[in-house]
Amino acid sequence: MAAANIVSVTEFKSLTLKGRGKVRDIYDLGDQLLIVATDRISAFDVVMPNPIPDKGRILTQLSKFWFDMTKGVVSNHVISMEVKDFPEACRPYEEILKDRSMFVVKTEVLPIECVVRGYLSGSGWEEYKKAGEVCGISLPKGLLESSKLEEPIFTPATKAEMGLHDENIPFEKVGEIIGKDLAKRLKSVSLAIYKKARDIAEQKGILIADTKMEFGIKDGKLILIDELLTPDSSRFWPTNGYRPGGSQKSFDKQFLRDYLLSIRWDKSPPAPQLPDEIVQKTRQKYLEAYERIVGKPLL
């Protein structure tokens, strides 16, 4: 592939910056938004000082693949990912925007993280160990870490402020926050997307252990927004070598988390500088996830 390129932060003076997330810079274009995926990476809700080369391109192009695959399930916010289709004001920044940006409709963002789990890992595993349930959903006794669940489960969370952790909530709470009918729709759509993606990924040698989705409302219609089924928002495990009973090899940022735990970082800002070896291995894991799923190299 072409030499890696790095975009840590964008400063588009002729555009109105709406906000910066842990990874994305968002510009306000009236009824639309320009979302730029930088190469920033976060772990334990803290942004690392080192970017991961090409990460923003990988996230954007993988999201594009999944948005295309799931548009029969629910509409998404993408107008175009080709800079030639963007408003004229974006054209001066074409070199930076290429392959790492989305021109999207602006929606009323729902304050719910829509998490679907097909395997027991992460905060789901921690909850299960304490109470035998996840988000109020009782699970069979005797499950191990990384066990496959009989059926995927919808385990929503509230969206936390920057620097805080999302909080898992029972499904009933979602109904109290956004209304019962919309809560049911969120659940059914989230599960349908997960199941479709799970089946596609398994054919490519990847297990999607869990994933997080976001939705908005536009003209009364539910719209899938943000990113979709990337190594930032999902746990990807290789099917080869999967064994319940512990953590799994992964194509996501669990590798980075494991490194940070190994050096006993206290998970508080500022984050430590990452060794080049950790940066490059993280990049390779993201790249491999992309190439396996999409079936071609990142150009």
Q: Is 241 exposed, middle or buried (0-12, 13-18, 19+ CB in 10 A)?
A: exposed
Q: Hey, what are 278's tokens?
A: 């950790």
Q: Is 16 helix (H, G, I), strand (E, B) or coil?
A: strand
Note the pLDDT tens digit of each residue in 7-33. 999 999 999 999 999 999 999 999 999
Eight-state DSSP code of residue 95: H
Average pLDDT of the residues of the chain: 95
Q: Does 119 score more than 60 pLDDT? A: yes
CB 97, CB 89: distance < 8 Å: no
Q: What pLDDT is stored for residue 5 in this prediction? A: 78
Cβ neighbours around 129 below 10 Å, total: 11
Q: Burial level of 19, CB count in 10 A (0-12/13-18/19+)?
A: exposed
Per CATH, the architecture of 109-270 is what? 2-Layer Sandwich (3.30)
Pair of tokens at residue 152: 């995927």
The pLDDT-based confidence of 216 (bands split at 50, 70, 90) is very high
For residue 231, which of 2, 43, 96, 3 has the smallest C-alpha distance? 43
How high is the pLDDT of residue 165?
64
Tokens at 37, concatenated: 């995926």
pLDDT of residue 252: 86
| Least confident stretch, 63-72, 99-108, 160-169, 235-244 | 160-169
Residue 253, pLDDT score? 87
pLDDT at 1: 44
pLDDT tens digits, one per residue of 158-200:
976 655 567 899 999 999 999 999 999 999 999 999 999 999 9
Question: Within the chain, which residue ranges are assigned CATH 3.30.200.20?
Answer: 16-107
State whether CATH 3.30.200.20 applies to domain 16-107: yes
The model's pLDDT over 35-58, given as tens digits with 9 standing for 90+, comes to 999 999 999 989 999 999 999 999
- The alpha carbons of the chain give a radius of gyration, in whole angstroms, of 19
Q: Which residues pair with 148 in a beta bridge?
A: 119
Distance from C-alpha of 254 to C-alpha of 63, rounded to nearest angstrom: 19
Number of alpha helices (DSSP H) and beta strands (DSSP E) in the chain: 7, 17
What global pTM score does this model have? 0.94
Residues of the chain with CATH 3.30.470.20: 109-270
Residues 205, 292 contacting (CB under 8 angstroms): yes
* CA-based end-to-end distance of the chain: 5
Question: Which pLDDT belongs to residue 167?
Answer: 86
Q: What is the pLDDT of residue 3?
A: 46
The sign of the CA dihedral 59, 206, 299, 76 is negative
Give the C-alpha separation, 233 to 253, whole Å. 9
